[in-house]
Chain A
Amino acid sequence: MNGGLRASMSWLHTWTGLISGWLVFAIFATGTATVFRHEIEAWARPSLSANPDPAAGLQRAYDHLLTAAPQATLFGVQAPSRQERDMQAYWSNLDGTYGQAELDPATGAPVADPPTGGGEMFYRFHFELMAPYPYGRLAACLAAAFFASAVVSGVITHKRIFSDFFTFRPEKGGQRAWLDGHNVLGVLALPFHLFIALTGIITLATTFMPFGMVGGYGKDLAAFYADSAPETRGMPERAGKPAVMAPLGPMISTAERQLGGQVLRLTVNNPGDASARVTLHRDNEGRLSRPAVAAVFDGVTGKLLTASPPPGPAMATNDLLYGLHMAEFAGPALRWLYFFAGLSGCGLIASGLVLWTVSRRRKLPDPAKPYFGFRLVEVMNVGAVMGLPLAIAGFFWADRLLPADLAERPAVEGRIFLATIAATIVYSALRPQKRAWTEAAWLAAFAFAAIPLLSAATGGRNLAASAAAGDWAMVALDLTLVALGGGFLFMARRAGRVAAPTPRRAARTAAAE
């Protein structure tokens, strides 16, 4: 605000970062977990086996829904992809009611495991924050816009950005070490942080920035959606004449030839009616962009009616940016890269938040009695940075420990998730700051590292059995949870040491200064 450009950018960086920091941390933490959401879904549904056949699964779901939801005017199924082991099905009925189920690709029937939010819970929290529509999504977009501004102003602040990248001086301790760490994490995955924030907003563009759509289409938004997916045009009205549906197999082969990829999603309009339409959507594996490319068939004759035309340049750009955020194209190596980039984003935000307090603590008139704003930031830092990991671990515990026949079980898991964050904030307010960090880190270390044991002991996924069966995705998930526990153990020991400096360390620090 005063002085030169860097001073004003530093001010902007500090305040945009602080205002959005806790929310952005929550979004980054759950987004990082979402990278492996299909593995988490599979972990929470131990009856599902690995590597289901998508085409056979779709056929079974199609047959199941035609008989199980005879009153449906529309139903859709998402087939298992490379990582998924279940199928999400939804339908809407003649009387205006809706239904949804998780289907087992091996049988086409609902999954035998108790209902759970699975990885879906983290995915939805990541952009809806468990708040009512559209407020959660708007808050997530606003936080992302603040974060993107903080990244841009942060880059301008650090004129020595390149040399800072090779500078990490943990031995200097205190503010310098935190700043070095913040810079390393920020620069290391800088393009990722910026693009993930911007593409995140793009995935919610119709909610957050609807004015392009409204400007071009006025009140007729249905026309916008029809133009965005031209193959959905001209769906006929229900004829009211029952008809026998064509088999799915030949339609899938035709669609796969036409669309040049594996069919992973199907939508049926007016099932069991003479006007039935079957829409088959291609997968996005191996493709950066995420177009909903589809072929539409007459559901009774099985004849191909129309297929998506190639998108125009703007739509193709939009699809590319959307696809980069969702990373459906990514194989295992790239998904690990997204995971680690997400972790580095969490570290970046956490270190930035801590830095705000570290750089101000020295200037406090009486460190024992900080002013309200300072104490608020301290409490919320522990609440967000430790509350989110504890809540994520808490989901795994809740999923294993809640009774199988509990009513609204997924919703209870969600409430436990939120309650864990709230409890961490309260705990942090009641404890001295450094004790709160240390104790929460010990708890997180235990909560993550013990998940594989808890799971094996309660009849869930079992590390030894997964390894014996060659189910490496579940082995990797268990080991990742243990590794996260190890990370928090390191953090707890580190924070504990800072809390109570040994005389030798104190002397060394004094000598260095």
Chain B
Amino acid sequence: MAAASAKAGAAYRFAVAWRAILAVGANYVLCALAATALARLLPLAGMSRVEAAVTGTLVAIIAMPVLPVFVFAARSAWKPTLVMAACAALLWAAARLAGAPA
């Protein structure tokens, strides 16, 4: 790891590892929550159940490759961590409140 040896140090390695966790793990969780929330919220707006499920899935799949760009573009790792945590909490709450459509 040429970049790592140039900036050797545990702090740098930890920062990279943390962003990788955000970009892969948190990214997937966030997209899964977005798919769930859309599948549950859109029927409340009158969309059919299957349409809502497919819309949620498509949005999640298109967002997934773009999120790592934001995670790694941010100057400080705090920003993507907080933004992703806030979005995840919001989506989780929305999905929870909406409940599974009948």
Contact = CB atoms under 8 A, between A and B. Distances in A.
Nearest to A317: B58
Contact of A215 (B35, B62, B72): B35
A492 interface: no
A216 B42 CA distance: 10
Contacts of B101: 216
A149 interface: yes
A304 B80 CA distance: 56
A360 interface: yes
A6 to B, nearest CB: 10
Contacts of B85: none
B64 interface: yes
A294 to B, nearest CB: 16
Contacts of B51: 312-315
A152 B66 contact: yes
B31 interface: yes
A1 B2 contact: no
B89 interface: no
Interface residues of A, number: 43
B10 interface: no
Contacts of A201: 61, 64
A148 B50 contact: no
Given A198-B62, A227-B48, A12 B69 contact: yes
Contact of B39 (A198, A216, A228, A363): A216
B15 interface: yes
B5 to A, nearest CB: 10
Label chain B's interface by main secondary structure: helix
A145 interface: yes
Given A211-B35, A318-B54, A145 B65 contact: yes
A130 interface: no
A77 B75 CA distance: 57
A9 B19 CA distance: 13
A202 B61 CA distance: 7
A208 B32 CA distance: 10
Nearest to A14: B3
B36 A215 contact: yes
B48 A312 contact: yes
B61 A198 contact: yes
A190 B55 CA distance: 25
Interface in B46-102: 47-58, 60-62, 64-66, 68-69, 72-73, 95, 100-101
B16 interface: yes
Interface string B1-23: 11100010000100110010001
Interface in A201-226: 201-202, 205, 208-209, 211-218, 224
B66 A227 contact: no
A156 interface: yes
Interface in A145-159: 145, 148-149, 151-153, 156
Interface in A103-155: 145, 148-149, 151-153
Contacts of B62: 198
27 contacts: A1-B15, A8-B72, A9-B72, A149-B23, A149-B66, A149-B68, A151-B65, A152-B66, A152-B69, A153-B72, A198-B62, A202-B58, A202-B61, A205-B58, A209-B31, A209-B32, A211-B32, A211-B60, A212-B35, A212-B53, A215-B39, A215-B53, A215-B95, A216-B39, A216-B49, A314-B58, A315-B50
Interface of A: 1-2, 5, 8-9, 11-12, 16, 145, 148-149, 151-153, 156, 197-198, 201-202, 205, 208-209, 211-218, 224, 227-228, 312-315, 317-318, 321, 360, 363, 373
Q: Which 9 A-B pairs have the closest CB atoms?
A: A215-B36, A148-B65, A212-B56, A212-B57, A216-B39, A215-B39, A227-B50, A216-B53, A212-B35
Given A224-B53, A315-B54, 12 more contacts: A8-B72, A11-B3, A149-B66, A152-B69, A205-B58, A209-B61, A212-B55, A212-B60, A215-B37, A216-B43, A216-B50, A314-B52
